[in-house]
Amino acid sequence: MELLHHQQQRRTTSVQWPEDVDRRLNILVRAATAAGERTSRAELLAALVSIADTQPEQLAQLLHRYRCLPKDALADDADRDDLPPVRAPGPRRAAPS
């Protein structure tokens, strides 16, 4: 049986969102790592999208909840010393010579 996450055809997606949401994604990757999972931001986003409910009412409710979050809703994510660090997204810098 072929698994969805092994599908060869891939798409690259560019996402613009608030900085706090981006930090939250990093926290979620760190939480998955704490649970023993080796994952990436892309794989975690793919997992969330693939299991999301496709019922219009459910999606509308999800959007409404997101749009009503106060500006500081994710502020507590800034300090999560209880989670292991993971490699920051993006290209790695070359080691100094």
User: Could you read off the pLDDT of 15-29 as tens digits, one per residue?
Assistant: 999 999 999 999 999
Tell me how far apart the alpha carbons of residues 7 and 19 are, in angstroms, rounded to a whole number: 30
Instruction: State if pTM tops 0.95.
Output: no
Average pLDDT over residues 55-77: 95
pLDDT of residue 97: 64
Q: Report H helices in 1-97.
A: 19-34, 41-51, 56-67
The mean pLDDT of the chain is 90
